[in-house]
Amino acid sequence: MGSRHQARERALQILFQYDIHGKPGLWLDVFWKENEASAEARAFAERLVAGVLEQKPELDALITQYATNWKISRMPIVDRNILRAGVYELLWMDDVPAKVTMNEAVELAKSFGDDEASKFVNGVLDKVLNQELTLSAKRAEAGSMKREA
């Protein structure tokens, strides 16, 4: 398993726990003891989690805007946290190509969500990527990747 893929899984698991517990605590220390990760994977996961938590109000507003007829509070916990992490990567992690973010989010949804989760996650992230003005560079990059394939 690639270290960034593993990092995204760990980040999703931590974000899920934040949704339940509301804040860090003993559970976070226990989590890292029970879920091994390389130093690189742990650093990426912690960067992703910290960013999502810092930008959560803006992320939730964007997700609500692009998830037609869905309130963030009504989404399954897994789906909303995959979306939060995916939107965060798209907007704030310039070192991660959009295509990688999209593929990884869909894979997480297939692994951790229900049968419809991957389609839902893909649809929302695709709207964010294609409609957010600040993502023009990532759109261009993703478009050139499609043409090369």
Segment 118-145 shows an average pLDDT of: 90
Write out the H or E segment, with its range, that includes residue 40: helix 39-66
Q: What does the mean pLDDT of the chain come to?
A: 91
pTM of the entire predicted model: 0.91
| Contact residues for 56 (Cβ-Cβ < 8 A; gap 6+) | 84
Tens of pLDDT, residue by residue over 28-66, are 888 999 998 899 999 999 999 999 999 999 999 999 999
Secondary structure, 3-state, 65-121: HHCCCCCHHHCCHHHHHHHHHHHHHHHHCCCCCHHHHHHHHHHHHHHHCCCCHHHHH
Q: Is a pLDDT exceeding 70 seen at residue 16?
A: yes
Structure confidence at residue 145 (pLDDT): 57
Whether 27 contacts 17, CB under 8 Å: yes
Q: With cut-offs at 50, 70 and 90, classify the pLDDT of residue 22.
A: confident
Query: How many C-beta atoms surround the C-beta of residue 37 within 10 A?
Result: 17
Q: Calculate ∠ Cα 58-35-21, nearest 5°.
A: 45
97-114 pLDDT, tens digit per residue, is: 999 999 999 999 999 999
Stretch 12-29: mean pLDDT: 86
